[in-house]
Amino acid sequence: MSRPGEFELIARYFAPIAGPAGLGLTDDAGLLRPARGYELVVTADALVAGVHFFADDPPASIARKALAVNLSDLAAKGARPDGFVLTLALPKGWTEAWLADFAKGLAAMAEEGACPLVGGDTVSTPGPLTLSITAFGSVPAGRMVLRSGAKPGDLVLVSGTIGDGALGLKVHGPDKPDWVVKLSEAGRSHLADRYLHPRPRLALAAALQAHASAAMDISDGLVGDLAKLLAASGVGAEIDLDTVPLSDAARTAIMAAPALAELAWTGGDDYEILLTTSEGEYPAMVAAAEAAGISLARIGRVTSDSGVARFLEQGRERVFAQGSFAHF
């Protein structure tokens, strides 16, 4: 059976996801209109089969992750999603069934994030499946939460739990380590799901805008991403690793293989929020997060030692050979 051409493909699978700004995906571009007094926040992420996901992952999961990681960036900036554009490079052998499931997953994440499709491009490639999403959000003028606002004396907080994504990659991957069998079925499912389906903390955006001095999402690992925030702010930090929140499944895995603690702290794919807030704003920040249904854990304090992060474990300093995932 013949497959649809580019324009039929767009009309069949992607036009139903588009919002009004997408103009029915019949034009060369979409049209976003920020409200008066608001500014646009723009973020982009590319995902490549074999690097960011397994080629045989469920297509709906691939689509959800591609959009979710962009929404996570918007959330960390305190932004409200307005729309996204998708570039999809399909390898030889793609099927309509695969594309239908991909579009279904993309539509579900777009609806959950209130972030409609506004345009993009669909091409073929001789290489692996590759997709790139650029997402747009808006914040009141001058209110975007930067990485560069942390000040000495601020508290360091993280949302949710840390390490599930990196451990979930091991659980989900084809070559499963011995410690995986020590987990319950529920524990394995939890970790794999956290890797496959990031949860952008959009409900935290307003609280960050109101109470955070700096923030970013944790995509490449807590240790490495903290270093980026500290460098942008020109400050240091002291972190108590014993207070970093872990899920029950992650704790079980680390008990079975203690060396996994370093992977939990330095591995990627958490998509939680790392933030700083002043002592005065801390109670309001925690209360707002609780009202949004998101847990926050205090894990350290910002210091004046520019670029220096000290990590303490059971009162002793710990040094990491590699701080985070790196492409290059």
Residue 214, Cβ neighbours under 10 Å: how many? 25
Q: Where does the pLDDT of residue 2 fall: very low under 50, low under 70, confident under 90, or very high at 90 and above?
A: low
Query: Is 121 known to sit in a ligand binding site?
Result: yes
Secondary structure (H, E, C), the chain: CCCCCHHHHHHHHHHHHECHHHHHHCCCCCCCCCCCCEEEEEEEEEEEECCCECCCCCHHHHHHHHHHHHHHHHHHCCCEEEEEEEEEEEECCCCHHHHHHHHHHHHHHHHHCCCCEEEEEEEEECCCCEEEEEEEEEEECCCCCCHHHCCCCCEEEEECCCCHHHHHHHHHCCCCCHHHHHCCHHHHHHHHHHHHCCCCCHHHHHHHHHHCCEEEEECCCHHHHHHHHHHHHCCEEEEEHHHCCCCHHHHHHHHHCCCHHHHHHHCCCCCEEEEEECCCCHHHHHHHHHHCCCCEEEEEEEECCCCCEEEEECCEEECCCCCCCCCC
- Of 16, 23, 242, 39, the residue nearest 108 (C-alpha): 16
Query: Is 28 known to sit in a ligand binding site?
Result: yes
Interatomic CA distance for residues 154 and 149, integer angstroms: 10
Which of 19-23, 111-115, 257-261 is predicted least confidently? Answer: 19-23
Percent of the chain residues topping a pLDDT of 90: 85
Query: Is 120 known to sit in a ligand binding site?
Result: yes
Query: Is 147 known to sit in a ligand binding site?
Result: yes
Residue 142 predicted with pLDDT over 90: yes
Look over the chain and give the mean of its residue pLDDT values, rounded to a whole number. Answer: 94
Query: Is 36 known to sit in a ligand binding site?
Result: no
Query: Is 190 known to sit in a ligand binding site?
Result: no
Q: Where does the pLDDT of residue 323 fall: very low under 50, low under 70, confident under 90, or very high at 90 and above?
A: low
* Residue-level pLDDT at 328: 43
Query: Is 52 known to sit in a ligand binding site?
Result: yes
Q: What letter represents residue 118's amino acid?
A: V
Residue 7 predicted with pLDDT over 90: no
Residue 292, Cβ neighbours under 10 Å: how many? 16
Interatomic CA distance for residues 223 and 200, integer angstroms: 20
Residue 36 predicted with pLDDT over 90: yes
Pairing outcome for strands 272-277 and 155-159: antiparallel
Tens-digit pLDDT profile for residues 270-315:
999 999 999 999 999 999 999 999 999 999 999 999 989 999 999 9
Residue 240, Cβ neighbours under 10 Å: how many? 17
* Residue-level pLDDT at 8: 86
Q: Where does the pLDDT of residue 135 fall: very low under 50, low under 70, confident under 90, or very high at 90 and above?
A: very high
> Exposed/middle/buried for 93, CB within 10 Å: 0-12, 13-18, 19+?
exposed
Query: Is 325 known to sit in a ligand binding site?
Result: yes
Q: Domains in the chain, ordered, with CATH?
A: 6-140 (3.30.1330.10), 147-318 (3.90.650.10)
* Residue-level pLDDT at 286: 98
Is residue 258 within 8 Å of 131, Cβ to Cβ?
no
* Residue-level pLDDT at 64: 97
* Residue-level pLDDT at 85: 97
Tens-digit pLDDT profile for residues 64-110:
999 999 999 999 999 999 999 999 999 988 999 999 999 999 999 99
Q: Where does the pLDDT of residue 204 fall: very low under 50, low under 70, confident under 90, or very high at 90 and above?
A: very high
Query: Is 73 known to sit in a ligand binding site?
Result: yes
